[in-house]
């Protein structure tokens, strides 16, 4: 594994393949042009934005990002689970471009357009739950979460919200209070909004006895503060930023049952897991449950800002007219991108690919669990992670060092976890098999190099 001039051989049958499907490092990373741009970035942009790789991107080729120095980087991040259909999908580009020519914005609260309604119809028809639904479109994931809380409070006339250990729901005032991790998400930003209570989860990898104890504690917490004071419980079906935590079987169905019994609105935050990422359109389908409200964002607009709250018609219509909205909510260009995403997902190939990605990741990374320092490989579909932990506890240092080594060799990886000890893989669902394998080989070598 060398850091420079790694050029995969062209395939004889396809001379263009080198451009489309090969990692290529022409310079060290970051290259000279990226370094110049980074210096200017430091002069102009707040330091408060963290950065995984200080590399500036020029264009994308499906699962490769091409930087301003001509390096081809393998994208295992998808802009944090956003570009599931690829970062330069021609169908998304065509629909968005055509819409840009027609009009860029009217504000749906001023005059309407059909694509907004079409996106809502698709979500009403495809989100889990065999009941009549309505959808509200917004712009960011956090905005969808905040609006779900508003809807649940208006519908139940109750104040309190139950969230969970290791949760991530966003960075706005309310959603950072719902997010579990203090640093960097909440630190110095208090006082936080009240009426947010945190319950335990039952991670499958740490709860061999199943979710019974965690569910008992959830019941106790609700009883302590009064079940009748809770408007909503909000849960990610696989926790993303918190460490790609898959819940023990029965945990989500247990929450569903508790919520129903106490008249609490169950909000399933599918913002990271949704739109095919886990091999089904929505991760809650793996457990056979439906939220009263399901939240989507990220992959919904393929990178154009779009989010949605889709839920029971009687909940969604419980809010007074004018109570929901936003200048940019359901922007027409983003709606066209979403309609392209729906067409692509409808063909089924990407959902199948998610299973292929999971199999390839498990084949390559599961043997590493035998090594001291590697504790677990977990996830579903194209949402996979490897956790670093040893007898001394979580090893965020190993995760950071391995991710950094992979980044230096042209594979964009992210860490996550409340202790930062997890490397997560979120490749575009259409990643070519050889690009995936090459990226995994680099990651494996990076992990072995920091463990040796």
Ligand X SMILES: Cc1ncc(COP(=O)(O)O)c(C=O)c1O
282 binding ligand X? (CB under 6 A)? no
Stretch that binds ligand X, among 110-118, 166-174, 376-384, 431-439 (CB under 6 A): 166-174
Tell me phi and psi for residue 203, to 5 degrees. -60, 135
Provide the β-strand partners of residue 164: 199
385 binding ligand X? (CB under 6 A)? no
Tokens of 148: 């779900």
CB of residue 430 to ligand X, shortest distance in Å: 21
Stretch that binds ligand X, among 20-28, 163-171, 380-388, 391-399 (CB under 6 A): 163-171
Which of 448, 388, 374, 384 minimizes the C-alpha distance to 413?
Answer: 384
Interface residue with ligand X among 128, 129, 141, 211 (CB under 6 A) is 141
Interface residue with ligand X among 25, 55, 65, 145 (CB under 6 A) is 145
Residue nearest to ligand X (CB): 141
**Distance in angstroms (rounded) separating the CA atoms of residues 418 and 75:** 23
394 binding ligand X? (CB under 6 A)? no
Cα angle 289-246-79, degrees, rounded to a multiple of 5: 100
CB of residue 450 to ligand X, shortest distance in Å: 26
**Distance in angstroms (rounded) separating the CA atoms of residues 329 and 327:** 6
Interface residue with ligand X among 148, 297, 350, 386 (CB under 6 A) is 297
Q: Site size for ligand X, by CB under 6 A?
A: 15
**Distance in angstroms (rounded) separating the CA atoms of residues 105 and 446:** 46
Chain positions 27 to 86 lying near ligand X, rule: CB under 6 A, are 80
168 binding ligand X? (CB under 6 A)? yes
Query: Looking at beta carbons only, is 128 or 373 nearer to ligand X?
Result: 128
Which of 52, 412, 346, 382 minimizes the C-alpha distance to 238?
Answer: 382
CB of residue 226 to ligand X, shortest distance in Å: 27
Is residue 282 classed as helix, strand or coil in its secondary structure? Answer: coil
Tell me phi and psi for residue 329, to 5 degrees. -55, 125
Query: Looking at beta carbons only, is 246 or 435 nearer to ligand X?
Result: 246
CB of residue 273 to ligand X, shortest distance in Å: 7
CB of residue 163 to ligand X, shortest distance in Å: 11
271 binding ligand X? (CB under 6 A)? yes
Query: Looking at beta carbons only, is 416 or 436 nearer to ligand X?
Result: 416
Stretch that binds ligand X, among 62-70, 123-131, 137-145, 215-223 (CB under 6 A): 137-145
Cβ neighbours, 10 Å, residue 261: 11
Interface residue with ligand X among 126, 150, 153, 169 (CB under 6 A) is 169
Stretch that binds ligand X, among 141-149, 213-221, 317-325, 444-452 (CB under 6 A): 141-149
Residues 6+ apart with CB under 8 A from 412: 52, 53, 65, 73, 74, 75, 76, 77
Give the alpha-carbon dihedral of 128, 362, 400, 58, to 10 degrees.
-70
DSSP 9: P
Query: Looking at beta carbons only, is 69 or 143 nearer to ligand X?
Result: 143
Chain positions 317 to 376 lying near ligand X, rule: CB under 6 A, are none
Chain positions 204 to 263 lying near ligand X, rule: CB under 6 A, are 236, 240-241
49 burial (CB, 10 Å; 0-12 / 13-18 / 19+) is: exposed
Provide the β-strand partners of residue 384: 379, 425
Residues that bind ligand X (CB under 6 A): 80, 140-142, 145, 168-170, 236, 240-241, 269, 271-272, 297
């Amino acid at each position: 594994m060398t850091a420079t001039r790694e050029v995969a051989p062209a395939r004889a049958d396809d001379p263009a393949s080198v451009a489309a499907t090969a990692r290529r490092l022409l310079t060290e990373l970051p290259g000279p042009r990226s370094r110049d741009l980074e210096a200017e970035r430091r002069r102009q942009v707040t330091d408060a934005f963290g950065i995984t790789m200080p590399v500036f991107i020029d264009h994308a080729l499906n699962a490769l990002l091409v930087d301003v120095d001509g390096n081809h980087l393998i994208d295992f991040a998808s802009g944090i689970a956003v570009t599931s259909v690829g970062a330069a999908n021609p169908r998304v580009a065509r629909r968005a471009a055509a819409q840009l020519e027609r009009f860029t914005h009217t504000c749906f609260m001023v005059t309407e357009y059909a694509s907004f309604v079409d996106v809502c119809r698709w979500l009403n028809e495809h989100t889990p739950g065999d009941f009549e639904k309505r959808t509200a479109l917004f712009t960011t994931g956090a905005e969808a979460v905040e609006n779900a809380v508003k809807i649940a409070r208006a519908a139940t006339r109750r104040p309190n919200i139950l969230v969970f250990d290791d949760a991530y729901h966003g960075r706005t005032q309310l959603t950072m209070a719902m997010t579990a991790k203090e640093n960097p998400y909440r630190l110095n930003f208090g006082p936080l909004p009240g009426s947010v209570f945190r319950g335990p989860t039952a991670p499958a990898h740490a709860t061999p006895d199943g979710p019974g104890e965690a569910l008992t504690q959830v019941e106790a917490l609700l009883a302590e503060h009064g079940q009748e004071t809770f408007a909503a419980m909000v849960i990610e079906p696989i926790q993303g930023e918190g460490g790609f935590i898959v819940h023990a079987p029965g945990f989500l169905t247990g929450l569903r049952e508790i919520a129903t019994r106490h008249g609490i609105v169950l909000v399933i935050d599918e913002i990271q897991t949704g739109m095919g990422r886990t091999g089904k359109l929505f991760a809650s389908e793996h457990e056979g449950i439906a939220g009263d409200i399901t939240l989507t964002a990220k992959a919904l607009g393929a990178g154009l800002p779009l989010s949605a709250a889709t839920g029971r018609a009687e909940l969604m219509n419980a809010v007074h007219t004018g109570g929901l909205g936003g200048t940019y909510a359901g922007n027409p260009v983003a709606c066209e991108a979403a309609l392209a995403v729906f067409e692509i997902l409808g063909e089924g190939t990407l959902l199948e690919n998610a299973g292929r990605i999971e199999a390839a990741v498990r084949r390559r990374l599961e043997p590493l669990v035998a090594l001291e320092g590697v504790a677990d490989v977990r996830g579903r579909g194209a949402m996979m992670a490897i956790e670093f932990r040893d007898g001394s506890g979580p090893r965020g240092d190993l995760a950071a060092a391995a991710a950094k080594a992979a980044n230096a060799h042209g594979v964009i990886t992210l860490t996550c976890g409340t202790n930062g000890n997890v490397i997560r893989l979120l490749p575009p669902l259409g990643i070519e098999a050889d690009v995936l394998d090459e990226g995994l080989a680099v990651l494996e070598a990076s992990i072995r190099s920091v463990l040796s």
